[in-house]
Every structure is written in structure tokens, then in C-alpha cells.
């Protein structure tokens, strides 16, 4: 693991550690509440930061060890040369290694949920389980027409990106890189079916029911329905709750449902599954 010692750390009386984890050509902003509870690592939406998890960690309280971090060029983390999905996978390992965590429970929202199931698939003996917050769903745009639509959206968004960063809708890289990452995500989602079929750890979904701003023709509801055959094939995957919020507001409006799913997976671990 190419990780050096954590730097710029602060430690409060409640054992919470906040600092930067140097890794490869970047440094990742990390907060770790510490303690003896089950370690939970939170994986953000594609362009979001760790601040979006505040309601969930508050709902869960001090009985868990909460580890949140900003992926490269998101939040307070530094820029890098590589923003690919595999780079984000390496970031997870870097944070876990730096904080001395071997067996985490992974909680991911959207893109972060895709990261979570891939990590669990690659590390089945280490993952305590996964909570997927409105994702991942085994469907995505794989044709060039869909990819061009993605590129067009981000070209149009370019002037607004500094304004929408606090909402988790943009990172600190170019519009072209945003589009590349989104296209890669669509391809990975379309191919995630075999990964979901192979998972041997408990996975709990929190499924939104509203359409996100800018969505059309019930597109997101169609994506969610693509999960049904996977649930029928693999009993380790279950829907913990279907909530009324949409994809973008789910962590803000339905954090108690996310917290309940985390407790559900943690209870399975305590009972030895």
C-alpha cells in the first residue's frame, strides 16, 4: 500500500480524528470518530463530499465508529492525475489502511454504493456488509448516443459548477473529466449484475421513489425496477426500505431509514449472520 503517515491531524476529547491522508499524488480529507464500535466507512456520490453523511452519523450515534472521507478533488481533498473508478477504489484501501481498519461495513450513496459492492466483491472475507443508498442498479447508458448526451449536459453545466459544488453536483476537475467519470459509471452500472449475483455478504438497499431534478420519463424508477431480478437470484441482497425522497435528497430527508439499514447489517454481524 502506497500510503504515508496521516498529517494535519486534530483530535478531540471524544477521540474523533480529522486530518489528511497522503496517497499517490493526492491527499484525502478524513474524519474518524474512533471508538470500539463497528467501523462504518461512508462512500460519497460521484461529485459529493463527506458532509452529506452528517445526518446519518448523527442518527446512528456513538455506538459505531464513523469514517468519512472526501475522494480526490472533492470536498477538502487534493487534486490528482487520476479520477477513475479504480482510483476511488484505491482511495478506500488507503483510508482503511491509514486508520487501521481491516473489516468495515460499507455505506455508499449512488456512485459510492457502486464502489461499496465492488469492494465487497473483491474483499468478501473483510466486508461486514454493504448498505446501498439508491444504488447500485444494474442498468446504464452504454451506447454512444447516451454518452454524447452526458457530455452535452456537462458542457452546459460548466459555468455553474462552482455554484453547485456545495450540493455535491460537481467536483474540482474539468467538465470533460466529469463527463468521462459519468460515462465510466454508466458502463460499470450496466455491468454490475454479475457482481451483485456473486456477493456473499449482506447487502441492504434504501430505494428512493421520487424522480430527481432533470430526470424524465420515469427513468430512475425504471432503473430501480432493474434490481428486482437480482434480488430474486441472490438472497443476500434485500431492500431495507423504500422511501419517498428522490435520489438527490435521500440522505437529507430519509437519513433515519439509512441508519436503520446500517443497524440491520450490524445486527447480522453481531449474531454471526
pLDDT tens, position by position, for the chain (273 residues)?
444 456 656 665 468 999 999 999 999 999 999 999 999 999 999 999 999 999 999 999 999 999 999 999 999 999 999 999 999 999 999 999 999 999 999 999 999 999 999 999 999 999 999 999 999 999 999 999 999 999 999 999 999 999 998 888 899 999 999 999 999 999 999 999 999 999 999 999 999 987 655 555 577 788 899 999 999 999 999 999 999 999 999 999 999 999 999 999 999 988 875
Q: What is the CA radius of gyration of the chain?
A: 18
CA distance 188 to 27: 26
- Strand 129-133 and strand 203-210: the pairing is parallel
- SS3 percent helix, strand, coil of the chain, rounded to 5, is 45, 20, 35
Q: Where are the beta strands (DSSP E) in the chain?
A: 7-11, 17-23, 26-32, 38-43, 64-69, 105-109, 129-133, 203-210, 237-246
Instruction: Write down all domains in the chain, each with its CATH number in brackets.
Output: 17-138+192-272 (3.40.50.1820)
- The cell numbers describing 148, all together, are 454524447
CA distance 261 to 180: 32
Decide: helix, strand or coil at residue 28: strand
Amino acid at each position: 500500500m502506497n500510503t504515508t503517515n496521516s498529517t494535519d491531524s486534530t483530535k478531540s476529547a471524544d477521540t474523533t480524528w480529522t486530518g489528511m491522508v497522503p496517497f499517490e499524488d493526492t491527499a484525502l480529507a478524513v474524519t474518524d470518530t474512533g471508538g470500539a464500535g463497528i467501523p462504518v466507512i461512508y462512500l460519497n456520490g460521484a461529485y459529493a463530499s463527506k458532509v452529506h453523511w452528517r445526518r446519518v452519523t448523527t442518527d446512528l450515534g456513538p455506538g459505531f465508529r464513523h469514517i468519512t472521507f472526501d475522494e480526490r478533488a472533492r470536498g477538502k481533498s487534493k487534486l490528482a492525475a487520476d479520477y477513475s473508478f479504480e482510483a476511488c477504489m484505491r482511495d478506500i484501501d488507503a483510508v482503511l489502511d491509514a486508520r487501521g481498519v481491516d473489516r468495515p461495513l460499507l455505506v455508499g450513496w449512488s456512485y459510492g454504493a457502486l464502489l461499496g459492492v465492488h469492494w465487497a466483491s473483491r474483499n468478501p472475507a473483510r466486508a461486514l456488509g454493504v448498505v446501498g443508498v439508491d444504488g447500485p442498479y444494474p442498468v446504464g447508458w452504454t451506447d454512444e448516443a447516451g454518452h454524447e448526451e452526458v457530455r452535452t449536459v456537462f458542457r452546459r453545466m460548466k459555468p455553474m459548477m462552482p455554484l453547485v459544488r456545495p450540493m455535491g453536483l460537481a467536483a474540482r476537475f474539468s467538465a470533460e473529466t466529469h463527463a468521462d467519470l459519468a460515462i465510466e459509471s454508466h458502463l460499470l452500472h450496466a455491468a454490475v449484475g454479475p457482481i451483485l449475483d456473486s456477493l456473499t455478504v449482506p447487502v441492504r438497499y434504501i430505494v428512493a421513489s421520487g424522480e430527481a431534478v432533470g430526470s424524465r420519463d420515469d427513468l430512475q424508477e425504471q432503473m430501480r425496477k432493474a434490481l428486482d431480478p437480482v434480488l430474486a437470484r441472490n438472497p443476500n441482497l434485500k431492500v431495507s426500505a423504500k422511501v419517498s425522497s428522490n435520489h438527490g435528497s435521500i440522505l437529507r430527508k430519509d437519513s433515519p431509514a439509512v441508519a436503520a439499514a446500517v443497524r440491520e447489517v450490524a445486527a447480522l454481524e453481531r449474531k454471526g449472520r
